[in-house]
Amino acid sequence: MQHLQPGEYFGEHHATLRLVGGLVTDTEYTHARVDWHYHENAYFTFVLEGQLLEASRKAQLQCTPGTLLFHHWQEPHYNVRETAQARGMHLELEPTWFARHQLEAGTLAGSYHLTHSRLPALFRAIHRELHLADAASRLTVEGLLLQVFGQLLRAEGRPERGVPAWVATVRALLHDEPPATLTLERLAAEADVHPVHLSREFARYFAASFGDYLRQQKVEQAKPLLRRPELPLADIAYQCGFADQSHFGRCFRQLTGLTPGEYRRRG
């Protein structure tokens, strides 16, 4: 039986995002059949296109777009591609990822067809971040993954009255620190809350996901700079932490309805 190394799949990767202790890929399946094998790390598969037969020791499953699977590490299975083209997103997680987030991965030992109603939206959001791939994407994907495990493990937090103290701590970090320096575990440690709880509760107090909130902050940072006509747009993009001027323009228009140039001309 073949043993696949971390990041090894039978296909061609169209996009890749590396996490601390994890890897996300958009993979086109190039083999008509893949015999019994197992992966070194635990991973999710979210089918994006085409049809597949997935078989483990427990069952066989016909997979279509939107099907979500989880395999614990070293769990044997085989695959058959049933359409001319098929594609899926893989989220591979090393044991260190589970340990870093204080999650007990053994709770999910085995292979699972995941049918929780809220999970597909979370994985579509992860797929969007995979292809956006900006400075906030890693942080956003970490948060989305913890929401996934919050659903799977049915993690419950204590009811809170009013605004908890950790909100001010997280808000200060998000305002004061460059997005590229922030990680979910750092935010959780500084706020003295569990990462799953922080991920689940963030949108309640900030009205946005981690990544979207950080992008909003960068756009707000750019607005006063756009009122200074001597500053080139590329310099503003760099100063505010966007990948480049094109990325700056896309995010700015998405959030304001205007391009940076249009906003500047309106004064």
Q: Which domain holds residue 96?
A: 2-131
**Average pLDDT for 141-149:** 91
DSSP of 119-150: HHHHHHHHHHHHHH--TTHHHHHHHHHHHHHH
Q: Is residue 158 part of a domain?
A: no
Last residue of a domain, one of 69, 101, 131: 131
Q: Is residue 179 part of a domain?
A: no
pLDDT score recorded for residue 98: 87
Which amino acid appears at position 160 of this protein? Answer: E
CATH number of the domain bearing residue 251: 1.10.10.60
Q: Compute the distance between CA of residue 240 and CA of residue 222 in angstroms, rounded to an integer.
A: 6
Q: Where is pLDDT greater, at 51 or 10?
A: 51
Residue 72 has pLDDT above 60, yes or no: yes
DSSP of 153-195: TT--PPP--SS-THHHHHHHHHHHS-GGG--HHHHHHHHTS-H
The residue with tokens 């090393």 is: 94
Number of folded domains that form the chain: 2
* Edge-to-edge strand ranges of the sheet holding 77-81: 2-4, 33-39, 77-81, 52-56, 60-63
Q: Where is pLDDT greater, at 177 or 84?
A: 84
Q: Where is pLDDT greater, at 76 or 253?
A: 253
pLDDT score recorded for residue 8: 62
Q: Which tokens hold the place of 55? A: 């078989």
Q: Is residue 62 part of a domain?
A: yes
Last residue of a domain, one of 68, 100, 131: 131
**Average pLDDT for 84-99:** 91
pLDDT score recorded for residue 13: 85
Q: Is residue 121 part of a domain?
A: yes
Q: Tally Cβ neighbours within 10 Å of residue 45.
A: 24
pLDDT score recorded for residue 10: 67
Residue 4 near residue 42 (C-beta atoms within 8 A): no
Q: Please indicate, yes or no, whether residues 231 and 127 belong to a single structural domain of this protein.
A: no
Q: Tally Cβ neighbours within 10 Å of residue 169.
A: 15
Q: Is residue 184 part of a domain?
A: no
The three-state secondary structure class of 242 is: coil
CA distances from 189 to 100, 184, 185, 197, 248 (A): 11, 9, 6, 12, 30
Q: Which tokens hold the place of 59? A: 């069952």
Q: Is residue 198 part of a domain?
A: no
Q: Please indicate, yes or no, whether residues 123 and 14 belong to a single structural domain of this protein.
A: yes
CATH number of the domain bearing residue 12: 2.60.120.10
Q: Where is pLDDT greater, at 17 or 200?
A: 17
Q: Please indicate, yes or no, whether residues 127 and 240 belong to a single structural domain of this protein.
A: no
Q: Please indicate, yes or no, whether residues 121 and 6 belong to a single structural domain of this protein.
A: yes
pLDDT tens sequence across 157-177: 444 445 788 888 888 888 788
Q: Please indicate, yes or no, whether residues 15 and 119 belong to a single structural domain of this protein.
A: yes
pLDDT score recorded for residue 171: 85
Q: Is residue 136 part of a domain?
A: no
Q: Compute the distance between CA of residue 43 and CA of residue 24 in angstroms, rounded to an integer.
A: 9
Q: What are phi and psi of 171, to 5 degrees?
A: -60, -40
Residue 209 near residue 125 (C-beta atoms within 8 A): yes
Last residue of a domain, one of 79, 109, 131: 131
Q: Is residue 159 part of a domain?
A: no
| Average pLDDT value over all residues in the chain | 83
**Average pLDDT for 67-88:** 85
